[in-house]
Structure 1
Amino acid sequence: MKKIDVKFKAQQGFTLLELLVVLMIIALLAGFVGPKLFSNVDQAKEKTAMRQMHSFADALIQYRLDTGSYPTEQQGLSVLVEKPSDATNWNGPYLAQQIPQDPWGHEYQWHNPARAEQKVYEVEISTADKNGKDITYGF
């Protein structure tokens, strides 16, 4: 039987210090990029909420043209997809699908009359972001 003579070369690799330096650089980059990325996500959610509320407002204006008034707060936004029992001249549904939740998972709120003390708007739709900031679409 023949002997196999295996010689191991000194293993080369990264030292612990080199690995720590690389991890520190990655952590610093993540610290700079992360907040920018997440603020863009929050801005996109706010824009989505405003677009949805704008489409609800268009549907509510059509509802008002058909029925003669905006729905009450008790009726809510559901009148845009389901005919209320006391509605006359309702020609809906005014939206193609059910009222979605806002981008943060909350229900949109319908205010008739508008909540603002100055009464800048006649009516309004509102929601709140993850920090509780009020997002309102008035018309």
Structure 2
Amino acid sequence: MKFEEATAVGRKVRASAIQRRRRGQAGFTLVEMLVVITIIGMIMALVGPRVLGYLGESKAKAAKIQIESFSSALDLYYLDLGRYPNSNEGLAALARSNNTPGWNGPYLRGGVVPNDPWGHSYVYRSPGERAPYEIISLGSDGQEGGSGTATDIASGAR
């Protein structure tokens, strides 16, 4: 047997031995998988509520910013027409004209009244309880009142 042939045979023997060892070690055992899943579950149990809390806070902040944007648009409407839209006209008066003389809108970007971050329409009242108008997001539940993420968010003090 020549040296090259012996080397080739030796490589084949080593390669098949390595393959046999790998076959026995392929994949993870059921116990290892259960341990990993348990650890991931514990991490999610600790981190999940915080992430959801931040999400609720960010939606409340977004609602406040939208209400401030509506307030600015209402002030421009007032400067052009000398009055705020009444409750029947609502925030839609900022987006489209009712052939009102002096209307220089749309006063909202895109010409549409967006919903609040929870997908509900904003409530607009004019006159408001303590101001010429009141803009309210009813929170995550879409109902008046509530606490936590369901707390109503209103323009000015309520």
TM-score bracket for the superposition, by shorter chain length: 0.7 to 0.9
Q: After superposition, what is the alpha-carbon deviation per residue over 1:54-95, rounded to whole angstroms, capped at 9, x for unaligned? A: 11100101111221211111001111121124x332222222
- Match in the other structure for 2:49: 35
The separation in 1 between residues aligned to 2:69 and 2:88, in whole angstroms, is: 20
Identity %: 38
- Match in the other structure for 2:135: 125
Q: Name the aligned partner's letter for residue 23 of structure 1.
A: I
- Match in the other structure for 1:16: 30
CA RMSD of aligned residues (A): 2.4
Aligned length: 131
- Is the aligned partner of 1:84 residue 2:102? no
1:127, 1:134 within 8 Å by CA — same for their partners in 2? yes
Query: 1:137 Cα deviation (Å)?
Result: 1.4
Query: 1:138 Cα deviation (Å)?
Result: 3.0
- Match in the other structure for 2:152: 134
Q: Name the aligned partner's letter for residue 134 of structure 1.
A: D
The separation in 1 between residues aligned to 2:58 and 2:116, in whole angstroms, is: 12
Question: Of the candidates 58, 66, 71, which is equivalent to residue 52 of structure 1?
Answer: 66
- Structure 1-normalised TM-score? 0.80
The separation in 2 between residues aligned to 1:29 and 1:137, in whole angstroms, is: 39
Query: 1:111 Cα deviation (Å)?
Result: 0.9
- SS in structure 2 of the partner of residue 107 of structure 1: coil
- Match in the other structure for 1:93: 106
Q: Which runs of 5+ in 2 are unaligned?
A: 1-12, 142-149
- Match in the other structure for 2:118: 104
- Structure 2-normalised TM-score? 0.71
The separation in 2 between residues aligned to 1:72 and 1:31, in whole angstroms, is: 48
1:111, 1:123 within 8 Å by CA — same for their partners in 2? yes
1:123, 1:138 within 8 Å by CA — same for their partners in 2? no
Query: 1:15 Cα deviation (Å)?
Result: 3.4
The separation in 1 between residues aligned to 2:84 and 2:132, in whole angstroms, is: 10
